[in-house]
Structure 1
Amino acid sequence: MSGKRIMDIEVLRAIAVLGVLFHHLQGSLFTDAVPLLTQIHAWAQPWWGVDLFFAISGFVIARSLIPALQDCASRQELWQQTRNFWLRRAFRLLPSAWLWLALMLLACLFVNRSGAFGTLSANLQATLAGVFQYANFRFADSFFRYEYGSSFVYWSLALEEQFYLLFPLLIVLCRKHLVWVLLALVAVQVFTMRTPLLMVVRTDALALGVLLAMWSGQPGYQRWRPEVLSRPWLGIGALILIAALLSFMATDRFTFAWYRIGSIAVLSAVLVWIASYDRNYLMPAGALQRLLGWIGSRSYGIYLIHIPVYQLVRELIFRLQSAGLPSPAGHPVLTLLIAFGLIVLLSELNYRLVEMPMRNRGAAMLQRLGTARSAAPASGATSC
């Protein structure tokens, strides 16, 4: 399967991260209720962006990893492919994640006159949870019980990284039965009431993304191509309609709450399915697609950065008010512009100075490992 960048997937990443940014405005950026946000949240909640991320991750990872592992002819080759996958993921995700954990901890110590970054004790424990990949379990335990810390969004990163660790092993162990195992995993979660613990180990969207990737390698996949969405505005209309439905389902007005998360996972997978054909069904080529593509390519950094930026802006407002200077307090639009401007700047710097250099370093390491392996037999033959 191709590892080519799919623009519709980047568009979905952008929509997912923008939804999360909007969801966290109330409480993380604005501590006092903003009437317009309150009215919007009553009818539309965009936290489903996290589940969309899960479905995208399952699809993108599986479409390259499953064929790579299935083509292995020996246990040694299987181990090498698995190790290479883990190394790529580590170089892709951990440097940025650990950098922003450290910066949040430093902010809690030195830029926290207002208390916006929370207590040192909570942030120390949250940092440990983020580094050692159990943030989702700490998040479930803290739910409405105690302060988590500034890095609470790391719960979803921990879940994804647990998936990255275990998924190759699942492929090897289940082999031809992988489809049935994943279907069972989805079915059990769809019909189970989600406790706080089950909310932070929700793997139904991830499993659906994997199933979609497996299906995309079958001949029948192309027969189901939604060609009707290539007509002007129908693709964008479908995207807006599904996003609106997901936003409504995420509110308390959705009466079938028992099935909420499972239903959101299924609709997220539908969006990824439409995007997977790489036909620009959801967003035609143009300026808007390029803008969303930029946001999508920086979505990981944006996700990590937006909470500390929201808290930093609150700290700035507090200090300006304490000094009797003009501040954006009372001007939500100005506050938003400052916060979003910082997010754009810092995510671009993170992408250029951390994400891409570390990806390239990981790729270079894998290339050296591959060269060393290919050179070993030749060296041995010479010595004989």
Structure 2
Amino acid sequence: MSNKRIMDIELLRGIAVLGVLFHHLHINLFTSPLLQTISVYGQFWWGVDLFFAISGFVIARSLIPALQGCSTRQEYWLQIRNFWLRRAFRLLPSAWLWLTLTLLACVFLNRAGAFGSLHANVQATLAGLAQYANFRFADSFLHYEYGASFVYWSLSLEEQFYLLFPLMILLCRKYLAWALLALVAVQLLTSRTPMLMVVRTDALALGVLLAMWSMQPGYRRWEPTFLRRPWVGVSVLAVIVMLLSMLATDRFQPTHYRVGVIAMLSAVLVWVASYNRDYLIPRGLLKNLMTWVGSRSYGIYLIHIPAYFLVREFTFRLQTVGLPNPAGQPILTLLIACGLIVLLSEFNYRFIEMPLRNRGASLVQRLGTSRTVIPSSGATSC
């Protein structure tokens, strides 16, 4: 399977992160009766599940063939080590940077109190660093203050997946698909408590299953070519987004199946995008913009809550000195927040994400090269 970047997957990342940004607008940036009304008919936290489905697909698409190509156990563990190194360099520098900056903002830029208490943020920072933020999030839900870095719960879950998934491949071997299907089925039939919500892995498992299927001949035979017709793909995307948003509302909260169905619909979107044929949105300015957002989605996800809180701090300070305050103008407040998010996420992408990602890839390459030259000095080959 090619490791070439799939632009339609980047499009889905853009949709997912914009959904999360919109979901967090109310209260975190400003209160609005309009947003409160919208939330009755549609909510957008499903963007996280779409991210999970994408992650499962993208990771398995490259990792499973790499592990299947190993002829010895030592080679297998070297591939796992390389995978963990690439993931660490890809994710941790940005995560640690914005955890640190959020904690500093809590100390030095918190007159309005938007960032919360120092005690809660220290605990939240530790949870983010040690990758147990999802468990802290479940424990704190409706009980005590989490802190400004609450979005790290989903990052912790993904990190746990990256750590355990290679071991699952090793343990399950040819039964991996059945184990993943069982994981999806059990969660579909289970009522989601706060703890089960923060360890939900059905979308991740479905993404992995999709990647495994994409390596089979039948995958091409099921390509949804009917979506090539003008506006059919866009219509399908709009319908699925509306269904996801409706299922995420409080009216479906008592049902045990809604998160499982959200995971399945997210996997359907990833399936359509996996062919990379512009089925969901045709090429043009809108798609270029959405793929740009998708390419920066990791930084946007980390940055948007600190950015919202910084805008609240800024408007609070304007109010205290008697200067014109945009707080009563939601559109202006939103534009300022979006501009800040765009600026900071582009900075993060250019100076943190890409350089450290490339450094991780170079490190893996150097480690591989050093092992290949060992036999020439008389050592035993792996």
User: Same fold by TM-score, threshold 0.5 exceeded?
Assistant: yes
Aligned with 2:256 (options 258, 261, 265): 258
Q: 1:321-336 alignment to 2 at 5 Å?
A: 321-336=319-334
1:297 equivalent in structure 2 = 295
Structure 2 residue 34 is the aligned partner of structure 1 residue 15: no
1:235-262 CA deviation, whole Å, 9 max, x = no partner? Answer: 1111011001100111123376221100
Q: 1:97-136 alignment to 2 at 5 Å?
A: 97-136=95-134
1:247-296 CA deviation, whole Å, 9 max, x = no partner? Answer: 01111233762211001000000000111111111111111111001000
- For 2:354 and 2:295, the matched residues in 1 are separated by 11
Secondary structure of 1:144's aligned partner: coil
1:326-346 CA deviation, whole Å, 9 max, x = no partner? Answer: 111110000000000000000
The alpha carbon displacement at 1:381 in A equals: 7.1
1:29 equivalent in structure 2 = 29
1:221 equivalent in structure 2 = 219
2:326 is matched by which residue type in structure 1?
P
Q: 1:67-146 alignment to 2 at 5 Å?
A: 67-146=65-144
Q: 1:163-312 alignment to 2 at 5 Å?
A: 163-254=161-252, 257-312=255-310
1:157-206 CA deviation, whole Å, 9 max, x = no partner? Answer: 00000000000000011100000100000000000000000000000000
- For 2:137 and 2:379, the matched residues in 1 are separated by 55
1:195-249 CA deviation, whole Å, 9 max, x = no partner? Answer: 0000000000000000000000011111111000011111111101100110011
How many pairs does the alignment contain? 380
The alpha carbon displacement at 1:370 in A equals: 1.2
- For 2:253 and 2:285, the matched residues in 1 are separated by 39
- For 1:307 and 1:82, the matched residues in 2 are separated by 33
2:178 is matched by which residue type in structure 1?
W
Gaps of 5+ in 2: none
2:109 is matched by which residue type in structure 1?
V
Over 3 Å counting, the alpha-carbon distance change for 1:105 and 1:327 in structure 2 is same
TM-score for the superposition, normalised by structure 2 = 0.98
Aligned-pair Cα RMSD in Å: 1.1
1:116-162 CA deviation, whole Å, 9 max, x = no partner? Answer: 11000000000000000000000000000000000000000000000
The alpha carbon displacement at 1:103 in A equals: 0.1
- For 1:305 and 1:285, the matched residues in 2 are separated by 28
Share of identical aligned residues, percent?
74
Secondary structure of 2:87's aligned partner: helix
1:374 equivalent in structure 2 = 372
Range that drifts further, 104-113 or 281-290: 281-290
- For 1:174 and 1:56, the matched residues in 2 are separated by 22
2:24 is matched by which residue type in structure 1?
H
Aligned with 1:51 (options 34, 49, 52): 49
Secondary structure of 1:101's aligned partner: helix
Over 3 Å counting, the alpha-carbon distance change for 1:88 and 1:381 in structure 2 is closer
Gaps of 5+ in 1: none
The alpha carbon displacement at 1:367 in A equals: 1.4
Runs of 4 or more, structure 1, over 6 Å off, are none
- For 1:278 and 1:103, the matched residues in 2 are separated by 37
Range that drifts further, 38-47 or 306-315: 38-47
Aligned with 1:354 (options 332, 349, 352): 352
- For 1:23 and 1:189, the matched residues in 2 are separated by 24
Secondary structure of 2:328's aligned partner: coil
- For 2:131 and 2:139, the matched residues in 1 are separated by 15
The alpha carbon displacement at 1:378 in A equals: 1.2
1:24 is matched by which residue type in structure 2?
H
- For 2:253 and 2:105, the matched residues in 1 are separated by 41
- For 2:365 and 2:7, the matched residues in 1 are separated by 27
1:356-379 CA deviation, whole Å, 9 max, x = no partner? Answer: 000111111111111101110112
- For 1:349 and 1:257, the matched residues in 2 are separated by 42
TM-score for the superposition, normalised by structure 1 = 0.98
